[in-house]
Amino acid sequence: MKRIPIYLLLLGTVVNFSCDEQSLLNLSPQTYQSSSSFFKSGEHFEQALIGVYSCLRSLPEYAVFMDEMRSDNTFFTFFAGDRSQALHAESIAQFTDDDRASYTTNRYTNNYVGISRANTILDRITGFSDMEEATKNRIVAETLFLRAFFYFDLVSHYGGVPLQLAEITSEEGTFLPRATEEEVYGQVIADLVLAIPGLPVAKEFPQSGRASSGSAKMLLAYAYLTQPNKDYAKAAQELRDIEGMNYTLMADYADCFDPAQKNSRESIFEIQYKEGNDGLHSYFTWLFIPKTPNTVLITGLNVATQHIRWGGWNVPTRDLVSTYEKGDKRLNASVAVAEGTEDANGTFLIERVVNAEGYKPQPGKAYYYFVNKYNHSPYAVEYNTGENWPIFRYADALLLLAECLLEQGDQTGALRYVNQVRNRAGLANLATISKEAILKERRHELAFENHRWLDLIRAGKAVEVMQQFGAAVKSQYGWVLPNAFNVTPEKLIYPIPFRELQINSNLVQNPGYQ
């Protein structure tokens, strides 16, 4: 049976579920329908499940700043004319952030809102009989996947966190101490192992945007590889299972991100958006264009005030662009160059947009690289696009499998999977393989998909790479403060938000942020 696209279900959701920061603290929210009276039919559980999915929609923006701009892939354009919206985001990119940064706070809170909703479903559906068993099993499986997803996001960015596994019905169950990293990863793995048998294998494309066996196995593989004691053999088995499913590489790399080809055969899981007036749109494309009062050459729209608050974020670094091989189709599919003039006040006027490959700065002209991967203009309305955000792609699975095989001594197998991905990009086969080669291939294949920071950590390279990158940034920009890029092992995870420490006296701050 063809599954209904998730965005259509979001439109029909009538439950008052919002991912706001007060949701966890309000044990008796004042809504027109309380949870005690709500879960009376199968349709109610379906609507509640969509409320859990909706908490995914904020993740891409948080991750742009915390996973991509925290790495050597992207930086930001310093704009002296407007500092109000910039400081927290800039501090993350420069490793000067503390426990009050808005993005790290909101990501933490948003994940727990999703977990709280998932726990409510899991508790209420137990013993509920007015539903077909197959439907009940599927709802439970999807909910377990989502809870595992939120906990994985938490533990991989903040370390051990409180393990809230039941609906909050009293104050006593709210203020838990932190579990260890091992305990949280153990729960992620346990939830996914339970979820997988109840999730469908993707057979019809485009998919619905809901969890599948493939997406759960992908997350499980990541959990095995990110936990303190990595298990390459178990991760490889999950990835081989994915290889045996119905996924394949798209013929054209750029098609993976085309809104006209959402949820394709390469897509294992992506966050769903829909252009329009119903609140389901995305807008991250507007974060990535250069700060300029004339956006028309990029977006098809000319928004005179756009540069005041938006644009100039997630700017591809010269370091990244320089590492692409000649003829790599992924560069021009991912990065473009805006060229024009810039006055003494920093106002940049675009005169032309060109490909990144082979670009040479022109005398007397200013230029900025920008992420072009998600730009499918012209757009009808500013800050309103239908671009989905990729979480897991089949190419990611192949490169992750190559990583596992190399760690187990299978160089031939690792080389085969890496070359599959390279060939799609128009590149020749590698003759030999190494950890560095796989890390570089992942950097190019998954650029601007929010993988680079965790990839560097998993490879044990984050401190070294970011110290070197920071030194280069300081030499390039005179405005970077001396205390920036003090990259230490403690900075591999983020601080527990200050607000959470104030609310819950059982929490202890991470080292390096105390």
Q: List, for residues 436-446, the tens digit of each pLDDT value.
A: 999 999 999 99
pLDDT of residue 31: 41
Strands (E), 205-334: 267-271, 315-316
pLDDT of residue 338: 97
**pLDDT tens by residue, 444-455:** 999 999 999 999
What percent of the chain is modeled with pLDDT above 90?
Answer: 81
**pLDDT tens by residue, 244-292:** 999 999 999 999 999 999 999 999 999 999 999 888 999 999 899 998 8
pLDDT of residue 6: 46
Mean residue pLDDT of the chain comes to 91
pLDDT band at 195 (very low <50, low <70, confident <90, very high): very high
Nearest to 393 by CA among 266, 285, 272: 266
Show the domains of the chain with their CATH numbers: 6-208 (1.25.40.390), 284-387 (no CATH)
Question: φ and ψ at 353, to 5 degrees?
Answer: -120, 130
Positive or negative torsion for Cα 300, 301, 305, 306: negative
The amino acid that residue 218 corresponds to is M
Structure letter (DSSP) for residue 89: H
pLDDT of residue 26: 34
Q: What is the mean pLDDT of residues 98-124?
A: 97
* 282, 385 contact by CB (below 8 A): yes
- Measured CA to CA, the distance from residue 87 to residue 65 in angstroms comes to 12
Greater pLDDT, 9 or 382: 382
CA dihedral 43, 201, 263, 423 (to 10 degrees): 170
* 422, 429 contact by CB (below 8 A): yes
Q: Which two tokens stand for residue 30?
A: 């004042």
- Measured CA to CA, the distance from residue 394 to residue 120 in angstroms comes to 32
* Residue 130, burial from CB neighbour count under 10 angstroms (0-12, 13-18, 19+): exposed
Q: Is the pLDDT of residue 80 over 60?
A: yes
pLDDT band at 305 (very low <50, low <70, confident <90, very high): low
Q: Which spans in 86-180 are helix H?
A: 87-93, 102-125, 133-158
Q: What is the mean pLDDT of residues 235-239?
A: 99
Nearest to 193 by CA among 141, 135, 268, 137: 141
CA dihedral 90, 96, 98, 102 (to 10 degrees): 0
Whole-angstrom CA distances from 454 to 67, 151, 157, 220 are: 7, 15, 9, 15
- Strand 389-393 to strand 348-355: parallel, antiparallel, or no bridges (unpaired)? unpaired
C-beta atoms surrounding 203 within 10 Å:
10
**pLDDT tens by residue, 319-346:** 999 999 999 999 999 999 999 999 988 8
Question: φ and ψ at 135, to 5 degrees?
Answer: -65, -45
pTM metric for this prediction: 0.92
**pLDDT tens by residue, 372-381:** 999 999 998 8
pLDDT band at 21 (very low <50, low <70, confident <90, very high): very low
pLDDT of residue 172: 76
Structure letter (DSSP) for residue 251: S
- Measured CA to CA, the distance from residue 160 to residue 188 in angstroms comes to 12
CA atoms lying within 13 Å on the CB side of residue 36: 6
pLDDT band at 169 (very low <50, low <70, confident <90, very high): confident
Structure letter (DSSP) for residue 215: H
Q: Is the pLDDT of residue 11 over 70?
A: no
pLDDT of residue 308: 44
* 364, 248 contact by CB (below 8 A): no
**pLDDT tens by residue, 456-499:** 999 999 999 999 999 999 999 999 999 999 999 999 999 999 99
Q: What is the mean pLDDT of residues 190-219?
A: 96
**pLDDT tens by residue, 30-74:** 343 556 668 888 889 999 999 999 999 999 999 999 999 999 999
Give the DSSP H or E segment for 463.
helix 462-476
